Structure 1
Amino acid sequence: MTSAKPKRVINMEEFGRQLARRRAELGITDADIPRNSGTRRTESKKALLKAIKDAGGNW
C-alpha cells in the first residue's frame, strides 16, 4: 500500500539556514549539544574519525 499524499521535498540548504536561525534565536551553541560518547564505535568508524582528524578536520 502506498500513500495517496505526495511526499514533501525538503531543501536541505534552506533547512540548514532555518535551523541555524532558530538555534541563534534560542541561544543554542555547539557547546550546548552533547557529543556522542563513542563507546560503541566500530574500529572502522574510529579509523575514519582518526583520518578526518589527521587531515585537519574536527569531528
Structure 2
Amino acid sequence: MASRTSKADTKDWTGPRLNHADYAARLAARRAQIDPGEPPRNAGTRRTPSKRALLKAIEESGGTW
C-alpha cells in the first residue's frame, strides 16, 4: 500500500464499502435530475487591482473572459 496508515488487510472493516464507479454513476444521474443550470457569475467586487487590469487588457484587445 502507498499509505503508511492504511492496511492492505481490510477483512476486519465493518463499515460500508463504497464502489467509486457506482457512486460516480449515481452522482452523475442525480446531478442530471436536479439540473441546476449555469451557476451565477462572480460579481467581481473583491478583485485585486492586478486582476482588474488584466481583465481590462483582455477586453481592450477584443477578447472576452
Pick the TM interval, shorter chain.
Answer: 0.3 to 0.5
Structure exhibiting the larger radius of gyration computed from Cα positions: 2
TM superposition score normalised by structure 1:
0.46
Structure 2 length normalisation: TM-score? 0.43
Name the one with the larger helix percent.
Answer: 1
